[in-house]
Amino acid sequence: MLELLKKLTQTNAPSGSEERLHNIITEEIKDYVDEITIDPLGNLIAHKKGNGAKVMFAAHMDEIGLIVTYITDKGFLKVSNLGGVSPTTALHQRVIFSNRTVGVVALDDTNADLSKGIRLSDLYVDIGAGSKEEAEKLVSIGDSAAFCGDFYANGNTVISKALDDRSGCAVLISAIKQIKTVKNDLYFVFTISEELGLRGAKTSAYSVAPDYAVAIDVTRTGDTPSKLSMAVKLGGGAAIKIKDSSFLAHPYIKQLMKETCEEFSINHQFEVLEAGGTDSGAIHLSGGGVATGCISIPTRYIHSPSEQVDLRDLESAAELAVKMIEKGFNQGA
């Protein structure tokens, strides 16, 4: 899991550039599924054929980033956000473009009163170009950049950028490899543009038209010295989502998760996230409605270059997915 997580997080794929992950994911899972397709928007859909109800699992491929809106005469880049970028967090971080050009996110006015808050429009990216012409040799309007954030593992603790949601992708890949018995028609979807509003989940849920669905994504924790009142903690196991701002877990899926964890002694905890959402928000509202749940991975410092997870939580999340699949989704049976 560690090596896979490193490979996935250190691939730079902000929303719109998810195709950079297609080969990595395909290589990992191709021997374990019957068919892999890339849909018109770039969702990677792996089908493991089976009888019975259709079940869709989803993890999003994209990460947050910046996109160039304007290049100044002196060669500095003005940028807009791809997903939830906090200007305060972005300040003085490094970003990297697809051609390996690296820039520093800096503040227009060093005398600005930081206590009053900064906006993304106050920031620029400095790629070391001396002029607009020089900058234009390296980047163009509309080019996107990912935040840099090296991968470190201290025992079970992993620190990296893009753990949102490459840890979900790693969990799903790992689960796909471990499934021994198939009781449903299974679809594993690696979605695009979750960070821009659950876009790939919306369209893939329409095309797959599942009866049941489970999203796998990160969630916040309440175990740091912050004021957040939240029961989820790092190392506390797979988090069974009950609610976030776009979603209430379906009682059947919630119960199946709980029972599965109890039956197989999988370390778990329950999650109520007051702000934020995942692909499950879009999937459960697709078609005539889909019984949906979400397995969350406790993560500190989400949407920063130094997100933090505990490997054991990822392993619990993968085990939960595998055991649910092996038990089978069949409401009312």
CB of 262 to Co ion, least distance (A): 30
Distance of alpha carbon 304 from alpha carbon 238, whole angstroms: 21
Residue showing the smallest CB distance to Zn ion in the complex: 165
* Residue 164 contacts Co ion per CB under 5 A: yes
Q: Which is nearer to Co ion, 54 or 166 (CB)?
A: 166
Task: For CA atoms 46, 48, 52, 56, give the dihedral sign.
Answer: negative
Min CB(63)–Zn ion separation in Å: 8
3-state secondary structure string across 59-80: EECCECEEEEEEECCCCCEEEE
214 and 324 in contact (C-beta within 8 Å)?
yes
Main-chain dihedrals φ then ψ at residue 239, nearest 5 degrees:
-100, 125
Choose one: 4-12, 91-99, 161-169, 244-252; the region binding Co ion (CB under 5 A). Answer: 161-169
Q: Look at residue 244 and give the partner it binds from Zn ion, Co ion, none, a contact being a CB closer than 5 to 8 Å depending on partner kind.
A: none
Report helix, strand or coil for 277: coil
Q: Which is nearer to Zn ion, 164 or 211 (CB)?
A: 164
Catalytic member of 18, 28, 63, 194: 194
DSSP secondary structure string for all residues of 91-151: TT-EEEETT--EEEEEES-TTS-GGG---GGGEEEE---SSHHHHHHH--TT-EEEEP---
Q: Report in angstroms how near the CB of residue 139 gets to Co ion at its nearest.
A: 24
Least distance from Zn ion to the Cβ atom of residue 270, Å = 19
| Beta-carbon count within 10 A of 242 CB | 16
CB distance 201 to 191 below 8 Å: yes
- In contact, 311 and 156? CB cutoff 8 Å: yes
Q: Which does 271 bind (CB under 5 to 8 A by kind): Zn ion, Co ion, none?
A: none
Q: Which residue is nearest to Co ion (CB)?
A: 164
Tell me phi and psi for residue 186, to 5 degrees.
Answer: -105, 135
Q: Which two tokens stand for residue 2?
A: 């560690």
> How many residues interact with Co ion (rule CB under 5 A)?
1
* Choices 29-37, 132-140, 156-164, 281-289; region in contact with Co ion by CB under 5 A: 156-164
- Tell me the backbone φ, ψ of residue 257, rounded to 5 degrees: -65, -45
Instruction: Find the part of the chain contacting Co ion (CB under 5 A) among 128-136, 164-172, 238-246, 283-291.
Output: 164-172
Binding residues for Zn ion, rule: CB under 5 A, are 164-165, 217
Q: Which entry of Zn ion, Co ion, none binds 217, CB below 5 to 8 A by partner kind?
A: Zn ion
Q: Which is nearer to Co ion, 185 or 217 (CB)?
A: 217
Least distance (Å) between residue 323 CB and Zn ion: 23
Query: Is 134 an annotated catalytic residue?
Result: no
Structure tokens at 277: 């959402």
- Among Co ion, Zn ion, none, partner that 63 touches (CB below 5 to 8 angstroms by kind): none
In whole angstroms, the minimum distance from the beta carbon of 218 to Co ion comes to 7
Stretch that binds Co ion, among 148-156, 163-171, 184-192, 279-287 (CB under 5 A): 163-171
List interacting residues with Co ion (CB under 5 A).
164
By annotation, the residues acting in catalysis are 194
